[in-house]
Amino acid sequence: MRLLCVETSSNHHETLLSFISYAQAQEISVFVAAPSNLQGLYESLREVEGFLALPSTPSALVTWAKAHHMDAIFHNTAYGRFALGIALEARGIPQFGIIHDTAKLSRLSYTGWRIAARMKVFFVLREKLRHNLPFFWRKKAYTLYLHSLPPSFWEQIPSIPKPPQQRWFAIPGRIERKRRAYDDLIEALAIHRPPPEWRFLLLGPAHASYSDWKTIKTQLLRYNLLEYFLYFPEGLSFPEYHAYLRLCEAILPLIHPGMPYFPKYLSYQITGGFSLAFIHRKPLLLHSAFAEEEDLRDASIFYSTPQELLSHLRDLPQSHLYSKPFWNDESKTLGEALRHLRR
């Protein structure tokens, strides 16, 4: 099978890397269409047979797919005008993909519904998201856990020097206060000053246009806590990002009730920190609002208050995490979806 994987933005490439690793296990020939700045990443992977710099129009991409005899198109992010254009133009080519924000299907969304209608099957990234879908969408939805990377990508992850006495905790993703409760963490640290060896790693680009790093830095300076936080002004390459994650003891998504994005993360989408924890088999330190979910329970240590979060970090419980079978071989889920796709 020749499969064209499409990602139209610079986001969600961790998702696509996981998907490529599953496709390789199914002996699928993978081609990637993505923004040209990602060309080096995908051409470095043995698991990718060809790269197409994303053309300016969906019709040009579909023309390329037909000329190169693609058997199917995979939408790594099945939303947006470009994805809709592909979905409408690529008649005769089976399509499937990932719905990252299932709120688009739980309410009437012109773009979301038209794309989903064109796909024979689609994936969501957490079982609760599938369960929350209206029944007519749930019938063709599969839950796909992202917990793998292509072997040739693992080989690129560099060694990072880490002071042997330090303990690192990762806070992945964009440095945005609407997405993560940095304020709650900082206020708790101001009351319960951490041990000198603790370091919180802010892994998003601190100087990005959307970043709230300046506000967060001001708070840290006010409480004399700046030394406990490591940040990266321009962000990290994909291999460097995973090098730091590999050395961290736990992942902190910092999704708390009361923050603007909390309802979306609770019911309609995941934060990338979930998948990054799954990939590296790190414990998620997660608010107890998520404790009802079996898949998250198997990967998480729960807390109800920021003070309880700090207590867990002081002595991380040696829980037996990642014991469920769905962490072992998601290529089987992909195989089942592909059989449905071919019907």
Radius of gyration, alpha carbons of the chain: 20
The answer to whether residue 331 scores a pLDDT higher than 80 is: no
Out of 11-25, 221-235, 325-339, least confident range: 325-339
Q: Alpha-carbon distance 273 to 78, whole Å? A: 20
Q: Return the pLDDT at 184.
A: 97
Residue with tokens 């209608």: 117
Q: Return the pLDDT at 329.
A: 74
Task: Please list the residues that pair with 88 across neighbouring strands.
Answer: none
- The mean pLDDT of 210-226, rounded to a whole number, is 97
When pLDDT is cut at 50, 70 and 90, the band that residue 112 belongs to is very high
Q: Return the pLDDT at 317.
A: 76
Task: Please list the residues that pair with 75 across neighbouring strands.
Answer: 6, 97
Q: Alpha-carbon distance 231 to 200, whole Å? A: 9
Q: Where in the chain is the domain with CATH 3.40.50.2000?
A: 2-154+328-342, 167-314
Q: Return the pLDDT at 221.
A: 98
Please give the mean pLDDT across all residues of the chain: 95
Q: Return the pLDDT at 212.
A: 97
Q: Return the pLDDT at 35.
A: 97
Q: Alpha-carbon distance 31 to 68, whole Å? A: 10
- The mean pLDDT of 200-221, rounded to a whole number, is 96
Q: Mind giving me the DSSP string for 1-25? A: -EEEEE--SSS-HHHHHHHHHHHHH
- The mean pLDDT of 99-116, rounded to a whole number, is 94
**Which residues contact residue 317 at a Cβ distance below 8 angstroms, ignoring those fewer than 6 apart?**
301
The answer to whether residue 64 scores a pLDDT higher than 80 is: yes
Query: What pLDDT digit, counting tens, does each position of 131-184 carry?
Result: 999 999 999 999 999 999 999 999 999 999 999 999 999 999 999 999 999 999
The answer to whether residue 19 scores a pLDDT higher than 80 is: yes
As a residue count, the chain comes to 343
Q: Return the pLDDT at 332.
A: 80
The answer to whether residue 318 scores a pLDDT higher than 80 is: no
Residue with tokens 């880490």: 162
The answer to whether residue 311 scores a pLDDT higher than 80 is: yes
Its pTM stands at: 0.94
Residues of the chain above pLDDT 90, percent: 89
What are the residue ranges of helices labelled H in the chain?
13-25, 39-43, 58-67, 81-89, 103-106, 110-118, 127-131, 135-138, 151-154, 182-191, 213-222, 238-247, 262-267, 272-280, 294-297, 306-314, 331-342
Q: Return the pLDDT at 325.
A: 85
Q: Confirm or reject CATH 3.40.50.2000 for domain 2-154+328-342, answering yes or no.
A: yes
- The mean pLDDT of 219-232, rounded to a whole number, is 97
Q: What share of the chain is helix, strand, coil (3-state, %, to 5)?
A: 40, 15, 40
Q: What are phi and psi of 325, to 5 degrees?
A: -65, -20
The CATH code for residues 167-314 is 3.40.50.2000
- The mean pLDDT of 87-94, rounded to a whole number, is 94
